[in-house]
Amino acid sequence: MQDWMVDFAEYVRELLPGELAEPFIALARPAIRLSIAGEGETVVGRLGGLPRLPEEVPWPRVGDGGSAMQFLAELDCAALTAYESDIGLPAEGALLFFATWDSRAAQVIHLPPGVVRVPEREAPVSGDARLFPEAPLAAETVATWPTRSHDDLVELGDEFWDHPVGEEPWEVFADLLTDFADAEGGRRHQVGGYSDALQWPIEAKAASAAGLNPRDPGFAAEASQWVNLLQLDEDNGMIFGDGGVLIFGIRRDRLAARDFSQIFPYVQGH
């Protein structure tokens, strides 16, 4: 069993009978959790600061000459190869993430290794767009699991979440699994894995945005093509609604082709 699975699997087996525990454990996916780097930790990217784009690459804007997007994060693809996830990231270069202040539009730029960047450029931000402090990011591989609204859990049934796990009737599996997540560091920035799904999973939301209805025959197939490229929590001055997270969704085929031109931004919040 992979290291990232051990604690999660042991915890679930302590709470649930085998006929429920094992199918749920089998659904776990690895993700790269990102957090503000402490002293001595390996840096794999950063939040905020200036994007340091090549001179010939314009600062992303909405449409043709619209308002400038906010620069949110940069990931070092080579550094992230040391960590496991369930998506195939580029092995080299950097990924730069931009979004509008309301997160309705987003852009991801993949810069190849060795490209010459401009160290400083005046940021063309105005209005509600902001610049954020620069903060280094560290990484670790963690287990992620589907939430109530995910199709992967249909066969387990709704009663699965409400399975009693303690002597008190209100001690149910869903609550103790939340406690486990909090003890592991809670919601954080994340590459790959199951993203947060307070309303819809990113997969289902992207399929719906493509014009499909959950009752359509092709809905599940389209949803299965989408992955969480990056989830950003509210941190470093960034706000995505009321306690929200911003998810950069991408189709698997576009990610495999290193085509980041069609990103689907989705905010999960209260």
- The residue among 146, 177, 186 whose CA lies nearest residue 26 is 146
**Which residue's entry shows tokens 């509210």?**
234
Sign, CA torsion 269/255/34/15: positive
Domain range summary for the chain, segments of one domain joined by + = 3-193
Tally the C-alpha atoms within 13 A of residue 56's C-alpha that lie toward its C-beta. 3
Q: Which amino acid is at 10?
A: E
Q: How far apart are CA 144 and CA 187, in angstroms?
A: 11
Per residue of the chain (270 residues), give pLDDT as tens: 678 889 999 999 999 988 889 999 999 999 999 999 999 999 999 999 999 999 999 999 888 778 889 999 999 999 999 999 999 999 999 999 999 988 899 999 999 999 999 877 777 766 677 889 999 999 999 999 987 767 677 677 767 888 888 777 678 888 888 888 877 765 579 999 998 877 788 898 999 998 998 888 888 899 899 999 999 998 888 888 777 899 999 999 999 999 999 999 999 876
Class of domain 3-193: mainly beta
CA 20 remoteness from chain centre: 27
Q: SS3 sequence, 101-136?
A: CCCCCEEEEEECCCCCCCCCCCCCCCCCCCCCCCEE
Cβ-Cβ contacts under 8 Å for 14 (sequence gap 6 or more): none
pTM of the model: 0.92
Residue 185, classified by CB atoms within 10 Å of its CB into exposed (0-12), middle (13-18) or buried (19+), is exposed
